[in-house]
Amino acid sequence: MTANLAGDVTMRYVDLPASEPRDAVPVLLLHGFGTNFGMNWRAAGWPQALGGAGLRVLGPDLRGHGGSDKPLDDASYLPERFIGDLLGLLDELAVDRVDVVGYSMGSRLAWELALTASDRVRRAVLGGFGPVNAFAEADLSAPGAGDTPFDQVFRTVAELQGNDAAALAACARGQAARPFVGEPRPVGVPLLLVSGARDTLATGAEDLAARCAGAHVEIPGRDHATAVSAWTFRQAVVDFLVG
C-alpha cells in the first residue's frame, strides 16, 4: 500500500494483521539505513514472530528507501521529516498509539518519535543502536570513499538492488545534521535496547539503557549485520511488548 502523507513524498507500507489478534496496540517497525521493510524485517522473520504473538504489524519503507519516494535534497532527511511521515501514517490508519521497534537508523527515529510524540508511543525498542556518532570521521560529501565504519556500510547498501546512492548520501547528510543526543530523554515510554555483542555501532547501548531506566539485552556473537535476525532479539521484543 502507499500513502501521500507529507505532500512531497509518497510512502510505501504494509499493514499486516495478526493471526490471532490480541487486544494490543500495533507494532511499528522502522528499518535501518539502506534497507527496507522486506530486507530488514520480513527476511528475518519478524512479521511471523509478532503476528504469531497476536500483534498487528505496520511496516513502512522510510523515505529514500525501498518503494517509497527518494528525494535528493539533504533537508528532506532531517529527523523531523521522518517523524512527520510516521505520524502521518498513523493518522492515515487511524492508529492512536503504537509500540515502535527500530533497528540502527530506525532506532534513532524510534527515539525521536518517543521523544516528540510520547502520547503516540506505548513502548519503544532500539536495536543496533547506541549513543556513538555513526558518521564519525566520515566525509559525507563523498560517502563510501573512505574507510570509516559508515563508509563501509554505505558501500554495501549503495550496491543493493533498488537503492539510489545519491538519495542515500542525502539521507546520511540530513541525519548527520541533527546529531543524536541523549538528553532530553523520552518521558513515560519504557525502553528496551538490544545489541549484538560484536556490534561497534551500538557501543554504549547498555549505558544508554541504564540512563533511561530501561532494559538492555546483549546477543552473543552477533554484529550489526547479523543481530537483527537473531531469535534472541525477536523473543526479547515479544516478551517486552506482551509479557
The pLDDT score that the predictor gives to residue 45 is 97
Q: What are the residue ranges in the chain where pLDDT is below 50?
A: none
The pLDDT score that the predictor gives to residue 5 is 63
The pLDDT score that the predictor gives to residue 22 is 78
CATH number at residue 85: 3.40.50.1820
pLDDT digit string, tens, across residues 101-118: 999 999 999 999 999 999
The pLDDT score that the predictor gives to residue 125 is 98
The pLDDT score that the predictor gives to residue 20 is 82
The pLDDT score that the predictor gives to residue 3 is 60
The pLDDT score that the predictor gives to residue 9 is 86
The pLDDT score that the predictor gives to residue 8 is 75
Number of domains in the chain: 1
The pLDDT score that the predictor gives to residue 6 is 58
pLDDT digit string, tens, across residues 191-240: 999 999 999 999 999 999 999 999 999 999 999 999 999 999 999 999 99
Give the structural domain span for 51: 2-242
**Burial annotation 165-174 (CB, 10 A radius, 16+ → b, else e):** bebbbbbbbb
Q: Work out whether the CA dihedral 224, 217, 105, 142 comes out positive or negative.
A: negative
